[in-house]
Chains A and B, each alone.
Chain A
Amino acid sequence: MHRTLMTLLIALFMALAAPAMAPQALASDVLMMATTTSTDNTGLLDELAPAFKAETGIELRWTAVGTGKALAMGTNCDVDVLLVHAPASEMKLVNAGQAIDRTQLMYNDFIIIGPASDPAGIKGMNNAGEALKKIAAAKAVFASRGDNSGTNKKEISLWKNADMVVPDKEPWYVQTGQGMIATIRVAEEKNGYTMTDRGTYIKYESTAKGAPALGIVVEGDKVLFNQYSAMAVNPAKCPNVKYDLAKTFIDWMASKATQKRIGGFRLLGKQLFTPNAGK
Chain B
Amino acid sequence: MDYILDGLMRAFGLLLSGNPETWSAVRVTVMASSLSVGCSVILGAPMGFMLGAARFPGRKAARIGVDTLLSLPTVVIGLLVYAFLTRRGPLGELDLLFSIPGMAIGQTILGLPIVVALTASAVEAQDRRLSTTLRTLGASRGQILATTLYEARLSLLTAAVAAYGRIVSEVGISMMVGGNIKWHTRTITTAIALETGKGQFAQGIALGLVLMILATAVNLTLAVLRRRQP
Interface on A for B, CB 8 Å cutoff? Answer: 1-2, 5-6, 9, 13-14, 16-17, 19-21, 24, 32, 37, 41, 46, 61-64, 76-78, 178-179, 181-182, 184-185, 203-204, 207, 238, 240
Contacts and interface: CB of A to CB of B under 8 A. Distances in A.
Contacts, number: 73
A76 B88 contact: yes
Interface stretch (B50-58, B95-103, B113-121, B130-138): B95-103
A9 B221 contact: yes
B200 interface: yes
Q: Secondary structure at chain A's binding surface: helix, strand, loop or mixed? A: helix
Contacts of B34: 13, 16-17, 20
B218 to A, nearest CB: 10
Given A20-B35, A21-B101, A203-B198, 16 more contacts: A1-B228, A2-B229, A5-B225, A17-B38, A19-B31, A20-B100, A21-B35, A32-B98, A41-B198, A46-B182, A61-B181, A64-B180, A78-B87, A78-B97, A178-B197, A207-B200
Given A37-B197, A76-B88, A181-B197, A61 B229 contact: no
Contacts of A13: 34, 38
Given A17-B31, A17-B35, A182 B197 contact: yes
Nearest to A180: B197
A2 B181 CA distance: 39
A20 B101 contact: yes
Per CB-CB distance, the 7 closest pairs between chain A and chain B, nearest first, are A63-B179, A77-B87, A2-B228, A20-B31, A17-B34, A20-B100, A16-B34
A181 B194 CA distance: 10
Contacts of A203: 198
Nearest to A204: B199
A10 B193 CA distance: 31
Interface of B: 30-32, 34-35, 38, 86-88, 92, 97-101, 104, 179-182, 184, 196-200, 221, 224-225, 228-229
B189 to A, nearest CB: 16
**Max chain B CB contacts within 10 Å: which of A2, A5, A178?**
A2
B114 to A, nearest CB: 18
21 contacts: A2-B228, A6-B225, A14-B38, A17-B35, A17-B38, A20-B34, A20-B35, A46-B182, A62-B181, A63-B98, A63-B179, A63-B180, A76-B86, A77-B86, A77-B92, A78-B86, A78-B98, A178-B197, A181-B198, A181-B199, A207-B200
A9 B226 CA distance: 13
A204 B197 CA distance: 11
Nearest to B226: A2
Nearest to B100: A20
B88 A20 contact: no
A2 B97 CA distance: 39
B86 A2 contact: no
